[in-house]
Amino acid sequence: MTDRTLPPSAVPLPIIIDSDPGIDDMLALLLALASPELDVRGISVSYGNTTVENAFRNAVAILRRAGKRTTLAVGARRPLKRPLAVARDTHGESGLGYAELPPSGVILDFVKSLDRLLAEQPEPVTLVTLGPVTGLALALRSDAEMVRAKVGRHIAMIGNIGAQGNTTKYSEFNAWCDPEALDIVLRAELPTEMVGLDVTREIVLAQHETTRLQHAGAPQARWINDALRFYIEFHKQQEGLDGCIVNDVLPIAALLKPAALTFEEQLLVVGLDDAAHRGHTRIDPHGSRVKVATRVDVGLVRPLLSERVFRWAVHQTATPIVSQEAGV
Ligand code: RIB
Ligand code: CA
C-alpha cells in the first residue's frame, strides 16, 4: 500500500513502459530505471524498431546492465492487420545497433501479456508507450473497462502535427506501424498525451556528447556507445545530422520534469490509407480528444540524460550481477 504520510512527490510514480527497444528506447528505459521518482512496475515489449523476440532480448540486456529487476511482458508481436515491418536501417539487425548481445530467443510463449500486467496492478498506473500502440489496442479489445481502471494516464511517443514525418513525408514511425491500433486507442479516449515529432525532434544528442562514452573504460559506457554509434550513422546519412534524435527519452523526462512539456488539447484522427498518409495524425473536428505536446524546454531534459545515464555509465566499472531467480 502507498504510504499516505509521505508528500505526493516523495512517493514514486507507478509506471508501465511499452517499448520496442530500439536505441532511443534503450536510453529512455535506462533513464526510467535510474530515476527514484519512478516505480517501473513492468516493461512490455513490442515489435517495431525490431522483432518482438529481439525486443525481449534487448530489454533483458538493458535490465541486466542497469542492475535492475522488473516484470517483463509482451505487448504485441505484430500489427493488428498490416504486414510486420521493422526498422533495421535505423536500429540495426539486433535493434541495438553495434551493441554486443546474446542471441535472441524465438519463443515467447507463456510470457505475460500487457493486459495481464495492467490487470494485476493494485492501483492505476501511468502507461508510457514508446513504440507502436498495438499492445494497448489489444488490451482495449480484450477488456476496455480494466484498461480504463488501470491506466490513470497514457503518455505516448507517437505521431506529429506540424513536424515532417520520419517514415513517410506525413507520418511518424510508431503511428505508421499500426494506424488501426492508434485509431482504437484514440477512440477509447483514454487520458492520452501525445509526445510527437513536433517536440521530440528537438531532443538531439550531438555526436560530441557521446565522446566521453567512447573514451570511457567502463563496459556500460562502451555498450551504450556501440548502440548509439549505429543510430548516429543512420541520422548522418538520412538527415545530415551530426548526432541523433532520441525521441523516446522525452516522455520519461516529462514524467520527471513536468514543466519540460507544454500541451494543448486537440481533436485528432489518424490516416488509415495505404499511401503517404498512412499513420498521419492530424487535427479534425470529428477527432478524439488528446493532449498534444506543442513545446519542449530542452534545458530541463538534457541534464537528466547526461547525469542519470551517461555519468552513471562512465563510472560503472563492472556489469551489476542481478540474481537470476525466476519471476519478480
Ligand atoms: O518515430 C520515432 C519512434 O519510432 C521512436 O519511438 C523510435 O524508437 C521508433 O519506435
Ligand atoms: Ca520506440
Express each pLDDT in 232-257 by its tens digit. Answer: 999 999 999 999 999 999 999 999 99
CATH number at residue 154: 3.90.245.10
Residue type, 326: A
Which residues pair with residue 264 across a beta bridge? 292
Give the closest residue to 151 by CA, choosing from 178, 117, 181.
117
* C-beta separation of 151 from 127 below 8 A: yes
196 C-alpha to center of ligand 2: Å? Answer: 12
Asked whether residue 1 is assigned to any structural domain, the reply reads no
Query: How many domains does one find in the chain?
Result: 1
Asked whether residue 7 is assigned to any structural domain, the reply reads no
* C-beta separation of 279 from 177 below 8 A: yes
Angle at 264 between CA 251 and CA 303, to 5 degrees: 35
Q: Specify the pLDDT at position 321.
A: 59
pTM: 0.95
Asked whether residue 308 is assigned to any structural domain, the reply reads yes
Asked whether residue 326 is assigned to any structural domain, the reply reads no
| Averaged confidence pLDDT in the chain | 94
User: To test the ligand 1 pocket, which listed residue (157, 169, 171, 198) has its Cβ within 8 A of the most ligand atoms?
Assistant: 157
* C-beta separation of 195 from 261 below 8 A: yes
Q: Is the CB of 178 under 6 A from ligand 1?
A: no
Segments forming the whole domain that contains residue 62: 13-315
Asked whether residue 119 is assigned to any structural domain, the reply reads yes
Q: Specify the pLDDT at position 212.
A: 81
Asked whether residue 320 is assigned to any structural domain, the reply reads no
Burial class (CB in 10 A: 0-12, 13-18, 19+), 238: exposed
Asked whether residue 158 is assigned to any structural domain, the reply reads yes
Q: Is the CB of 245 under 6 A from ligand 1?
A: no
Residues of the chain with pLDDT under 50: 1-6, 326
Angle at 304 between CA 301 and CA 310, to 5 degrees: 125
Asked whether residue 122 is assigned to any structural domain, the reply reads yes
